[in-house]
Amino acid sequence: MTDLCGIELEHPIVNASGTWDAIAALRAFGDDVIERFPFAAFVSKTITLQPRQGNPPPRLWETAAGLINSIGLPNKGLAGYLEHDLPVLARLPVPLIVNVMGFTRDEVATLVEAVAERDEVAGLELNVSCPNVESGLIMGADPRETAALVERVRPLTAKPLIVKLTPNATDPPAVAEAAQAAGADAVSLVNTLRGMALHPRTGEPWLGAGTGGVSGPAIRAIALAQVAQVAERVSVPVVGMGGVETGAHARALLRAGATAVAVGTESFRDPRAGARVAEELGQLLRKERVSAAT
């Protein structure tokens, strides 16, 4: 068992927000998704106060050993999520962590309050990779912005609050420290790194939104370094992620100080990658215990 700031996990592998849609998976694969759920917790895709259509296509670009996406957080909005999605997600056999994002602190507060009061929800993850429309600053790129946000929402719930850090910041460990000081129960990292691709013929930006976020093996080494730096600076648990494809990759993030590990883009290649990574990690850890005992 893994204890992630009070959320009990069967194993240390969860999904990265926005990389697995359990409701769509039920449509594609049926109830086997519930019977053989690949993750120890389900982290939902980001929800916002108002419904969002997301960015204009094209939204994807395959890059060297990875992917650039500019999806733009399409979602049904808070009311739609609570009415339509939450009852389905409640069928999953694992704890549910809901990822939320707002464009002002008050918006985030409304989201946190409404989501946290639902019994189906085990914890919340704050997506701070967007600009605060009041200050113009990326909330998660600046320690003071992050602290102000966490201070605003911390009193609203006793449930675990996880702050999802952006790697597009000058000093992610300082942001992590600020989040912890303001009352965050855990931090998760890394979100995607900003990237861009040009249309091979026209030379114009390929992605509908101009730029996007890079994920996959291309960012694994960067993620490992950031997780190690952050874990050194904070005492709260760290959820590490970035390019994890195997149990050995997850083991590396645990060695760097992570308590749990999220699988993201690899799930696009294999919908049960989370279960495979958990199995491989379990074998590695058992082997280590055996060799330590002999």
| Residues at the interface with other proteins (CB under 8 A) | 18-21, 23-25, 27-30, 32-33, 36, 45, 53-54, 57-60, 62-67, 69, 71, 74, 216-217, 265, 267-272
Which of 199, 287 has the CB closer to other proteins? 199
Cβ at position 202, least distance to other proteins in Å: 11
Cβ at position 66, least distance to other proteins in Å: 6
Which of 171, 270 has the CB closer to other proteins? 270
Q: Which of 130, 181, 222, 284 is catalytic?
A: 130
Cβ at position 121, least distance to other proteins in Å: 21
Which of 45, 159 has the CB closer to other proteins? 45
Distance between CA 275 and CA 283 in Å, rounded? 12
Cβ at position 54, least distance to other proteins in Å: 6
SS3 string of the chain? Answer: CEEECCEEECCCEEECCCCCCHHHHHHHHCCHHHHCCCCCCEECCCECCCCECCCCCCCEEEECCEEEECCCCCECHHHHHHHHHHHHHCCCCCCEEEEECCCCHHHHHHHHHHHHCCCCEEEEEEECCCECCCCCCEHHHCHHHHHHHHHHHHHHCCCCEEEECCCCCCCHHHHHHHHHHCCCCEEEECCCEEECCECCCCCCECCCCCCEEEECHHHHHHHHHHHHHHHHHCCCCEEEECCCCCHHHHHHHHHCCCCEEEECCHHHHCCCHHHHHHHHHHHHHHHHHHHHHC
Cβ at position 195, least distance to other proteins in Å: 14
Q: Are 93 and 104 in contact (CB under 8 A)?
A: no
| 130 in catalytic set | yes
Which of 152, 276 has the CB closer to other proteins? 276
Q: Are 75 and 46 in contact (CB under 8 A)?
A: yes
Which of 67, 176 has the CB closer to other proteins? 67
Query: Could you list the active site residues?
Result: 130
